[in-house]
């Protein structure tokens, strides 16, 4: 998937070289194409040692804890904001009702 794809070889006939003159530049001869690397059929596998598996598990646990703490703090911020808006609404309602009853 990540190996480069090369175009097919040129099928044009080779250019014949002529003797250069003072007025015409020397023709550029075609160069040999770059060698194509064979596709790697046996890719190396990742070997997990017990130490690296433990480090991977600890790193994953730390990521889960950090993401969880961020999400909980965002939820707490929304809950506090909603409670303060509700308190403000109750206070405003009581003030308006008191003003109406006078």
* Element at 42 (helix H, strand E): none
- Tens-digit pLDDT string for the chain (102 aa): 688 887 777 776 666 766 655 666 666 666 777 777 666 566 777 788 889 999 999 999 999 999 999 999 999 999 999 999 999 999 999 999 988 887
- Cα–Cα distance for residue pair 95/101, rounded to 1 Å: 10
Specify the pTM.
0.45
Closest of 28, 24, 25 to residue 16, by C-alpha: 28
- Cα–Cα distance for residue pair 94/102, rounded to 1 Å: 13
DSSP conformational letter for 22 = S
């Amino acid at each position: 998937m990540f190996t480069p794809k090369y175009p097919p070889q040129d099928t044009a006939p080779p250019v014949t070289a002529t003797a250069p003159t003072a007025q015409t530049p020397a023709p550029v001869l075609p160069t040999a194409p770059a060698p194509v690397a064979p596709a790697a059929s046996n890719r190396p596998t990742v070997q997990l040692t017990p130490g690296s598996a433990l480090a991977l598990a600890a790193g994953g646990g730390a990521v889960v804890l950090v993401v969880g703490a961020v999400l909980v703090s965002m939820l707490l911020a929304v809950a506090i904001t909603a409670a303060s808006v509700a308190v403000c609404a109750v206070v405003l309602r009581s003030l308006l009702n008191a003003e109406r009853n006078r």
